[in-house]
Amino acid sequence: MNEKANIKIEDIKYSTDKITRKYVQRTYDNLKIETTYVDYINKHIICFSTQVGCNLGCKFCYNGIKHNFKRNLTAEEISTQIENIIKNEKLNGNKPILFSAMGIGEPLLNYNNLVESFRYLNNKYPNNKFALATTGISLEHILKLAEDLKNINFKLTISLHSAFQEKRNNLIPINADLRTLVNTVKEYEKISNKQVEWNYVLLDGINDTINDAKELFELLGKNEFIKINKFNKVENSNLVESKNLDLFISELKNNGMQVEYYETNGSDINGACGQMIAE
Show which residues are catalytic: 34, 273
Polymer length in residues for the chain = 279
Task: State how far the Cα of 218 lies from the Cα of 46, in Å rounded to an integer.
Answer: 34
Please give the helix or strand (H or E) that residue 145 lies within, else none.
Answer: helix 139-148
Instruction: Give me the phi and psi of 156, to 5 degrees please.
Output: -105, 130
Instruction: Give me the phi and psi of 241, to 5 degrees please.
Output: -65, 145
Q: Which residues on adjacent β-strands are paired with residue 38?
A: 20, 45
Task: State how far the Cα of 162 lies from the Cα of 239, in Å rounded to an integer.
Answer: 15
CB-neighbour burial class of residue 62 (10 A; exposed 0-12, middle 13-18, buried 19+): buried
Residues whose CB falls within 8 Å of the CB of residue 50, separated by 6 or more in sequence, listed in order: 72, 73, 78, 101, 103, 104, 105, 106, 107, 110, 113, 114
HSE-CB for 172 with a 13 A CA cutoff: 23
